[in-house]
Amino acid sequence: MTNVLSAFEPFPEPPALILEYIAERSAEESVVDGPVPWDLGALSAELIEPMPAWLDSVCRWLNGRYAWQPQDVIPPCWTKHEGLAYEIAALAFARKDAYADAGSSVIWHEQYDRFLTRMNKALGKAGDECRVGKHDDRPARFQLAAWPTAKGEETGATGRVEEMAG
């Protein structure tokens, strides 16, 4: 008889570079005083480079294990939704710590459920289109363009939003 649980895929491991960075930051006599690895906007170009591929594999893993309803699917255009990218990174790093004991893993699943609620609120009606590969730019982009340029800022809010959206 085959063990049905033997086919379960493990959670994707963070890139080696990120694991080394975490180890360096955690060392008692560490000289590394950089940002936490889930703060995507604060990472150096070297550290951010492997993150999209890993986080994409995390999204695929989460979708494959937990997305039984359409609203639970993380859309393939998650990188174009900056808030989702930050949340997915935090959720992915939190999972490793959460599985240190059973109680923490239950809490992680509650966090995942809250993530889905926030994701669906952020995506709104556009979520259905995003999930089938029809991403449109942020619906409220025109409202962001109405913000005055901050003192000393060259590109304004609109330029930064467009830059993040890719």
Which DSSP symbol is given to 44? -
C-alpha 42/C-alpha 36 separation (Å) is 8
Q: How far are the Cα atoms of 33, 46, 50, 54, 87 from residue 18, in angstroms, in the given order?
A: 14, 10, 8, 10, 17
Q: pLDDT digits over 121-159, tens only?
A: 999 888 999 999 998 887 666 677 777 888 766 554 444
Look up residue 86 and give its amino acid.
Y
Q: pLDDT digits over 29-76, tens only?
A: 767 678 999 999 999 999 999 999 999 999 999 999 999 999 999 999
What pLDDT is recorded for position 147? 78
Average pLDDT over residues 84-103: 93
The residue behind tokens 């006599």 is 29
What pLDDT is recorded for position 1? 63
Is residue 166 scored above 70 in pLDDT? Answer: no
Beta carbons within 10 angstroms of residue 75's beta carbon:
23
Find how far residue 62's CA is from the centre of its chain: 11
What pLDDT is recorded for position 139? 67
What pLDDT is recorded for position 154? 56
What pLDDT is recorded for position 11? 96
Residue 160 pLDDT level (bands cut at 50, 70, 90): very low
What pLDDT is recorded for position 4? 84
